[in-house]
Each structure stands twice: as structure tokens, then as C-alpha cells.
Amino acid sequence: MIIAVDFDGTIVRHRYPKIGEEIPFATQTLAMLIRDGHRLILWTVREGALLDEAVEWCRQRGVEFYAINRDFPEEDATGSGFSRKLKADLFLDDRSFGGLPDWGTIYHRIQAGKALDGEWHRLGLYEEEEEKRGFFSRLFSRD
């Protein structure tokens, strides 16, 4: 699976342009995903020296990304066929709908082949919506 991973707020706490403290188990989980054969792409707003700093920070913790801000390492960002739209199977980002689950949950969902199903509400990220009942149902119910 090709997995795009944000940096600030996903791997580390938001302290941009500084690098915040690591979110618990982020780099360990990413390293495990790489060992399991997944291709990880660092997909971040960081550029230049700030990007280099983030890549090195990850490298020091055992996370070597397949590509950085592109689909594959050799992709030429100046070419006419270049698209900023990544072709990833999964995006891990704190700004995703519903937020970012903990890294243990992320790993187990990917390993179980359930990363792409729509059952994230079962992880406790969303509050269950109370069932809406009609007037007569409420009037004559026993609860």
C-alpha cells in the first residue's frame, strides 16, 4: 500500500516552523509499516531547509521515506506531466475528517486490511448520534 503521511500534527505535535515533540509511537509505527512492505511518502507543507530538517529528524529515528512530496523519488517536479496530486492509497493527516486516531489503531487497521473501510466511527472518534424518534414514539415509549 502507498501511504502518504503528513509531518506537523501527525508525526510530531504542531510547533511549525520548529519540530514539535513526537506523537507517541509515530516513528515506531512508521518504521513497522516500512518493514511490512508499505511505501511511505512524506507529504508536508514544509519546503527547503525546514523540509530537510524534518526528513533528517525522521531518518535519525529509523524512518526513511520512499518519496518526499512526490509520487516517486525520481519524479521531476518541473516537467509538464507533474501533478501535485499524490497517487496514494491512504493519507494519514491530523486534518483528516474525524482527526487522527492513535498510532496503534492506525497500524492494526492497516494490518487487518481495514484502513480503507468506512467504519472509523467505531473507533470512538465520533460521538454516536442519538436516534431520532417521532412524536408518538417518544410519547408512548417506556424509557
Q: Contact, 4 vs 92, CB < 8 A?
A: yes
Separation CA 77–CA 97 (nearest Å): 28
Extract the C-alpha cell encoding 113. Answer: 486490511
Tell me the per-residue pLDDT of 12-58, one tens digit each, with 9 for 90 and over: 999 999 999 999 999 999 999 999 999 999 999 999 999 999 999 99
Show Cβ contacts of residue 65 under 8 Å, excluding neighbours closer than 6 positions.
Answer: 5, 40, 41, 42, 55, 58
Dihedral angle at the C-alpha atoms of 94, 6, 103, 71, nearest 10 degrees?
A: 130
Q: How far is CA 31 from CA 67, 75, 127, in A?
A: 15, 23, 31
Domain boundaries, the chain: 2-119
> What pLDDT was estimated at residue 127?
41
Between 114 and 50, where is the model more confident? 50
Show Cβ contacts of residue 32 under 8 Å, excluding neighbours closer than 6 positions.
Answer: 107
Between 76 and 17, where is the model more confident? 17
> What pLDDT was estimated at residue 128?
40
Output the pTM of the full model: 0.77
Show Cβ contacts of residue 120 under 8 Å, excluding neighbours closer than 6 positions.
Answer: 98, 101, 126
Query: Which amino acid is present at 47?
Result: E
CATH C-level class of 2-119: alpha beta
